[in-house]
A and B are shown apart, each in its own frame.
Chain A
Amino acid sequence: MIRPVVIFLAVTKNWIRSRSGLFFSIMFPVLLLLVFGAIFSGGGGGGASTLFVQNLDRNPGGTATQLSVGFVDALNSTKTFTIKDVPADSDAKVWARNNLGPLGGNIRIVIISQGFQDDVLNGTLKVRVGISYSTLNTTYQYFAPYLSDTEKWAYEQGLAQMRQYYENLADRRTSLTIALDASDQSGAVIKNIVMNVANAFNYHIIGATSVIEFTDESVTSNRYGAVDYYLPGIIAAFIMTNGIIALTSNTTEFKRRGIIKRLSITPLTKFDWIIGNVLSQTLLSLMLTAIMIVVGWIVFNVQAIPDALTVIMIFLGSVMFSGLGMILGGLVKDVEAASALGNAIAFPMMFLSGTYFPMDFMPSYLQSVSRVLPLTYFSEGLRYALIYRYTEGVLTNMAVVSALAVAFIILGSVVTRWKEK
């Protein structure tokens, strides 16, 4: 059997039989996928936010007015909130704090002020009269040349009376109070939803309809969920950590225990050693990818199906990060330093390469930094291959990853010490 294959089999067996190695290489990424999936898939029903609503708009009998109840129903229809009614005679903030429930959370309160219905009706009437006056006036201006003087006089009298009526209507507007915690990270989203509901309610009352309609479409040929978009990033990030952290630590540990020295006394060359380790990392990466996708299928109904380009991309990414791991393993002497160095490189790269959140969220100088990180190209290439099926994008990123893979393997061979000093 050829020597790299012997190394590949031995290193792989040693890894598969190590519980901690198996946990951090396979189980931990799967757990992270489950957590990410649970957060971003939006499923499960019970995730609605609590919204406290205090309705101060009451009829003389003490019951809530018809329009204020209608507004609360509109909020409820979004299915975004679990509405909790705050008694009209209590301090809304104190009551909400006391009734937040055992798990706590953010306090979000909407207060419907007294006179809401009257103000809405009055405001609606004024808007409608204004629109009617404007329409009649425009019509009159258009047809006036064809009317007799008597007809003109009658029309103008009518318009003047209508305008007088419009001006006599009070210019009343109603307001809603939204109370949020300044530290509430979802506060802006909650406020936008409430404002959208208020606008829709407003249009409905005055009998207007929206003239611009949105059609919601996916940019990909298939209909993907949020987890589909995170999956390639998580896979790429853990292929990277397996290469940089696990391989660096293993190499350093083998070096410390004299295993590499023992092998160097045999006819094994350091290139054979590196190829054997790269093959082992590639197998690990393919196993990780397969398990992640299967878990994604079963738990989150993920649609992504790997094709040949995906497999090639994973192979090249594994080679690239194995090479980087070999470089680091060659540079450091002890396992602790290897682990620290691996973490110091892997974690910033993980967060700056658009694996967990889009690079567009980052300031421009950080986007420039991310463009020099190997993980950016690997993760982007994998996303194009697995999700977008954008061959040109895959090939561009694949070219960068291939070049880096060759460079890292060559540099790894140079810094891997096969002889004592």
Chain B
Amino acid sequence: MANTVVEVRSLVKQYGSLNAVDDISFDLYQGEVFAFLGPNGAGKTTTVEILECIRPLTKGTAKVFGYDVTKSEDVKEIKKRIGVLPQEFNALDKLTVKENIDLIGGMYERKIDTMEVIRLLDLADKAKAKFETLSGGLKQRVGVAAALVNDPQLVFLDEPTTGLDPKARRDVWVVIENLKKLGKTVFLTTHYMEEAQVLADRIAVINKGRIAVIGSPQDLISQYGGRKILVVRKGSRELAKILQDKYGSTMFNHGGDVIVKVDDVKEMWQVLSTLTEMKMDKEIEIQAPTIEDVFLKVVGGRITEEGELK
């Protein structure tokens, strides 16, 4: 196992009688992308801000690079080693992209050349543009650039794509994939299922301050995602009956599709063979379960585009 970068044990954060973070434990390993997936108010940002040393914890322990987030001498060491893209990143409007990154860079004794970071984030042609003139996606890229200017070993990205259009979101994904290639450890929080599934090496599903499940996307899907689905577009009731009699778990939906749930690849091939023998020329689609299915299973709801649980 790689080196442990973050170590959280029985962490609790209380606001009055509310447990915003309720007895969670997890580790982060060097070089991985770790995603906290959960709806708004789940405790994602609270946990991240405790690790960033800007929010005190109530109970438990949290260590980053072995340094304790509650000790002021340790906090100085942690701050030198982490880079942060906070939720809803903002910078000084009248300063240029370069000046804003210089501002953050100026806070560190050890930093890398600003233009190098700017080029890394593909912002060279915007280096002299004022922050206020940038689009939402570009602003997030500036935020990531600012998070990298001190050459951190661990990068926190708190909801990096919230509010962005699909193209800008994909651009940020590319940036995160590049961070992984650079060997950075990334702690990502998100309420987008696809984002977590595509980017993360491991995902922790968090809801109401508690971690429901934790593991790699593949492990979580195979463990909690349920069965694979084979869909025959524009089938018939007769076909549905044949497949039901032979394999069970078959239904005919309102759209005229025949849906068969299969347990494994072997059973799927058997269904496909049956369809081939029947000389079936209908369109066939195979749907694998996703993290969304995992979430639905372990939390019992879905997350809207706005991040609310329903």
Give which listed residue, B15, B87, B90, B102, contacts A259 with CB less than 8 A: B90
Is B52 a contact of A265 with CB atoms below 8 Å?
Answer: yes
Q: Is A205 on the interface with B (CB-CB < 8 A)?
A: no
With A14-B92, A265-B84 known as contacts, the answer to whether A420 contacts B54 (CB < 8 A) is yes
Give which listed residue, B49, B88, B99, B130, contacts A420 with CB less than 8 A: B49
Q: Is A13 on the interface with B (CB-CB < 8 A)?
A: yes
Is A267 a contact of B76 with CB atoms below 8 Å?
Answer: yes
Is B80 a contact of A267 with CB atoms below 8 Å?
Answer: yes
Residues of chain A in range 2-33 having any CB-CB distance to chain B below 8 Å:
3, 6-7, 10-11, 13-15, 17-18
Give which listed residue, B15, B87, B90, B99, contacts A13 with CB less than 8 A: B99
Is A421 a contact of B55 with CB atoms below 8 Å?
Answer: yes
Question: In chain A, what residue has the closest Cβ to B45?
Answer: A420
A-contacting 9-mer, from B104-112, B197-205, B221-229, B280-288 = B104-112
Residues of chain A in range 260-300 having any CB-CB distance to chain B below 8 Å:
261-268
Q: Within the assembled complex, what's the spacing in Å between the Cα atoms of A263 and B149?
A: 13
Q: Within the assembled complex, what's the spacing in Å between the Cα atoms of A15 and B94?
A: 8
Q: Within the assembled complex, what's the spacing in Å between the Cα atoms of A421 and B95?
A: 30
Nearest Cβ in chain A — how far from B294, in angstroms? 31
Q: Within the assembled complex, what's the spacing in Å between the Cα atoms of A87 and B49?
A: 87
Determine the main DSSP class of B at the interface with A: loop
Question: Which residues of B have CB within 8 Å of A259?
Answer: 90-92
Quick one: CB contact mask for B61-105 with A, threshold 8 Å, 1 for yes? Answer: 000000000000000100110101011111111110001001110
Q: How large is the interface on A (under 10, 10 to 19, 20 to 34, 35 or more residues)?
A: 20 to 34
Q: Is A258 on the interface with B (CB-CB < 8 A)?
A: yes
Q: How large is the interface on B (under 10, 10 to 19, 20 to 34, 35 or more residues)?
A: 20 to 34
Quick one: CB contact mask for A237-263 with B, threshold 8 Å, 1 for yes? Answer: 000000000000000000001110111
Nearest Cβ in chain A — how far from B203, in angstroms? 24
Is B103 a contact of A261 with CB atoms below 8 Å?
Answer: no
- Identify which of A3, A13, A265, A418 gathers the most chain B CB atoms within 10 Å of its CB: A265
Is B107 a contact of A267 with CB atoms below 8 Å?
Answer: yes
Question: In chain A, what residue has the closest Cβ to B107?
Answer: A266
Is B93 a contact of A14 with CB atoms below 8 Å?
Answer: yes
Nearest Cβ in chain B — how far from A270, in angstroms? 12
Is B95 a contact of A265 with CB atoms below 8 Å?
Answer: no
Is A258 a contact of B107 with CB atoms below 8 Å?
Answer: no
Question: In chain A, what residue has the closest Cβ to B131?
Answer: A14
Question: Which residues of B have CB within 8 Å of A18?
Answer: 94
Is B86 a contact of A10 with CB atoms below 8 Å?
Answer: no
Q: Is A208 on the interface with B (CB-CB < 8 A)?
A: no
Q: Within the assembled complex, what's the spacing in Å between the Cα atoms of A15 and B84?
A: 26
With A10-B103, A261-B54 known as contacts, the answer to whether A266 contacts B95 (CB < 8 A) is no
Q: Within the assembled complex, what's the spacing in Å between the Cα atoms of A33 and B158?
A: 49
Q: Is A1 on the interface with B (CB-CB < 8 A)?
A: yes
Is B55 a contact of A258 with CB atoms below 8 Å?
Answer: no
Is B92 a contact of A6 with CB atoms below 8 Å?
Answer: no
Q: Within the assembled complex, what's the spacing in Å between the Cα atoms of A157 and B65?
A: 126
Nearest Cβ in chain B — how far from A271, in angstroms? 13
Is A267 a contact of B49 with CB atoms below 8 Å?
Answer: no
Is A265 a contact of B94 with CB atoms below 8 Å?
Answer: no
Question: Which residues of B have CB within 8 Å of A268?
Answer: 107
Q: Within the assembled complex, what's the spacing in Å between the Cα atoms of A257 and B92?
A: 9
Q: Is A419 on the interface with B (CB-CB < 8 A)?
A: yes
Question: In chain A, what residue has the closest Cβ to B88?
Answer: A258
Is A262 a contact of B84 with CB atoms below 8 Å?
Answer: yes
Question: Which residues of B have CB within 8 Å of A418?
Answer: 54
Question: Which residues of B have CB within 8 Å of A1?
Answer: 106
Nearest Cβ in chain A — how far from B92, in angstroms? 4
User: Told that A259-B90, A419-B56 touch, could you supply 7 new A-B pairs with CB distance under 8 A?
Assistant: A6-B102, A14-B92, A261-B86, A263-B107, A265-B54, A265-B79, A267-B107
List 21 A-B pairs, Cβ < 8 Å.
A3-B107, A10-B92, A13-B94, A13-B99, A14-B92, A17-B94, A17-B130, A258-B86, A258-B87, A259-B91, A259-B92, A262-B84, A262-B104, A264-B54, A265-B79, A265-B84, A266-B79, A266-B104, A266-B107, A267-B79, A268-B107
Interface pairs A-B: 3 shortest CB-CB: A6-B106, A266-B107, A17-B94
